[in-house]
């Protein structure tokens, strides 16, 4: 059975925050927001240069997650040729990257 006035007593704060306490909370919030914005700006964008001529760089599904493949030269040609012998999403992605890089296979 609910008690009369129990909700009001249980949900009334013991005291109000002082001006100094509110300013400290606002300063902490401002520092946190500035740090988050700086972190987002520092990590935004693509910092990885494009692959060199005759090389491919492609992210494909691996055994335990994403796998980055980046062969160059004759290894890239062999990778592209081997990918054409399969019919799955991984090989299609590799072949598309080979064609985009202009590798003859």
Judged by average pLDDT, the poorest of 6-15, 16-25, 28-37, 73-82 is 6-15
Chain-wide mean pLDDT for the chain? 91
C-alpha torsion sign, points 45, 49, 50, 56: negative
Instruction: Judge contact between 54 and 73, C-beta under 8 A.
Output: yes
pLDDT at 1: 67
Give which of 34, 37, 94, 100 is closest to 67, Cα–Cα.
94
Q: Give the predicted TM-score (pTM) of the model.
A: 0.56
- Residues 75/77/80/83 CA torsion (nearest 10 deg): -60
pLDDT at 46: 74
């Amino acid at each position: 059975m609910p008690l009369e006035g129990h909700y009001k007593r249980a949900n009334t704060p013991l005291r109000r925050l002082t001006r100094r306490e509110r300013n400290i909370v606002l300063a902490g919030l401002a520092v946190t927001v500035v740090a988050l914005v700086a972190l987002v700006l520092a990590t935004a964008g693509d910092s990885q240069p494009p692959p060199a001529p005759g090389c491919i760089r492609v992210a494909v599904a691996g055994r335990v997650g994403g796998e980055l493949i980046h062969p160059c030269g004759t290894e890239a040609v062999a990778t592209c040729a081997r990918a054409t012998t399969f019919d799955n999403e991984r090989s299609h992605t590799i072949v598309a990257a080979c064609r985009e890089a202009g590798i003859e296979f």
